[in-house]
Structure 1
């Protein structure tokens, strides 16, 4: 299967992609059942029968198709029993080309893992009548704040280019322990790669930096501080990993520096990270765009609330 063929298949928003390690062997059904152990093997058999699992060229795969050398698979999101998430997003802006949403904590942006309909994308597609809606960048489900989505496939690449060329100024807020080192602006640069205790976590490794974050304390309340964070690059979990690596992990972070997952349905400890502001020059209209979240972190923190 050539790369040229694979790039011609336009993956719909409700399809996900999963990487196939170079050492993988066996069948498509065996690989998916092992990779997603929380999904029953019979569910994967049903999806494959419905042509909802495809190879890198977009062609449906049979259950017995070998996965060696494929590189990745596509699969259509489908869940038989999905737990509702009791928080709603707010639409701050909508025009012919983009939608700006203000996402709550705990709501995933796009279908993944145990989430399909309980995602920002699917909710907005239904509510706005925009099946072509697609997110233009990532935001963790644990993080609240601004998400920019494309509403027009004809102009989506122009907005994607802004992120690829780092022309979108992003500003976040976070609550973490006070550290006098960060009273003044501080740059943290590191090389980030996939790794860590779980498949979805990141880690810092030796080598040429591929991520950079400017941070500074904006306000202090006893042992706690509210930080202003400005990522230059857009690596997965960048702010969470950088803060933990500096010794000031973000309050209520369930992954960094240690895995500490809350029980399912426990919404009492939202990650204290907020995508506060987005600023860019609109590639279609040429106008300067500035959007700001209406949400707030748990601030100030009760001084008696010590570090978890």
Structure 2
């Protein structure tokens, strides 16, 4: 059986949030869509699904607003929206640096998560941008950690996203970061650091492994120092998770206010007092659609 309504209804953008799509398989036995959702998403409390039905945030494939007793209809799909009852406000603002037909270039502040995940939906850069611009199909081309500030690229059209992502895969994008860390006069700069990085423990951290072939590379320069701290210019050739944080930590120069390296030190979610001193300062690439050089720089600055 084919879902004939698949292309008829396009769910609206609600308060900057796009709808998620769920397929209802044939082999499942469930009396109602509500029962299936509780079964399919065991980590979400049934009371949360009840609230979404009550708030009319669940749609059938044809655009009909579903109710909590709506019958399960196999081989179709539904749309639902995710909102959080309480969400910690991130008191820092983004800035749109540049926009054309295909791209949106944004200056991301510290502490702002890129996309909805876990405890953040409204307080994410993607949802803020969708709310501000109304661009329903906006998607990030690459990512920055929640703790990192600076320049990040978004694609306005799904059909162009892969073209730009390929630039990153082919290492045709030059990125320059600034970081503040300790100053040690015995460490000679500039230098190129090559390490093997792999998943660490806890699972959301990374670690180095001297017994495996190098899979990361960063060119590091010293920009200035005050004897105690220094400002470094980092140019990664590869793009592993936490690469710059791990590379500086490997040199005995952990980035100032890093909550993961050298040791995990969790802070309260509403503690914005000590931002990680890492900034995605500049990005360069040849636009594959316009065939012209593009260069963008963050308006944020790290100071000693």
1:267 correspondence with 2:272 = yes
Q: Which runs of 5+ in 1 are unaligned?
A: 1-11, 17-27, 53-74, 301-308
Q: Is the 8 A contact 1:93 1:99 kept in 2?
A: yes
Give the length in aligned residue pairs.
250
CA distance in 1, matches of 2:233, 2:114: 23
Taking structure 1 as the reference length, what is the TM-score of the superposition? 0.74
Tell me if structure 1 keeps the 8 A contact 2:88–2:269: no
Which residue does 2:87 correspond to in 1?
82
Deviations 1:73-108 (A, max 9, x none): xx9754222111111100000111000000110011
1:272-301: per-residue Cα shift (whole Å, max 9, x none)?
00000000000011111000000011x12x
Q: List per-residue Cα deviations over 1:191-224 (Å, max 9, x = no partner).
A: 2222223x31111223112211111111111211
Structure 1 residues 193 and 268: CA distance shift in structure 2, 3 A = same
Matches within 5 A, 1:168-183: 168-183=173-188
Rounded Cα–Cα distance in structure 2 between residues aligned with 1:250 and 1:183: 17
Q: Do structure 1's residue 143 and structure 2's residue 148 form an aligned pair?
A: yes
SS in 2 for 1:180: coil
Asked which structure has the greater CA Rg, the reply is: 2
Q: Does 1:247 align with 2:252?
A: yes
* Partner of residue 206, structure 2: 202
| Counterpart in the other structure of 2:137 | 132
Residue of structure 2 equivalent to 1:64: none
The answer (yes or no) to whether the contact 1:105–1:144 under 8 Å persists in 2 is yes
User: So what's the TM-score if we normalise by structure 2?
Assistant: 0.75
Gaps of 5+ in 2: 1-16, 22-36, 60-79
Aligned mates of 1:15, 1:179 — CA distance in 2: 49
Structure 1 residue 30 displacement after superposition = 9.0
Q: Is the 8 A contact 1:215 1:230 kept in 2?
A: yes
Q: Is the CA contact (8 Å cut-off) linking 2:18 and 2:81 kept in structure 1?
A: no
- Give RMSD over aligned pairs: 2.8
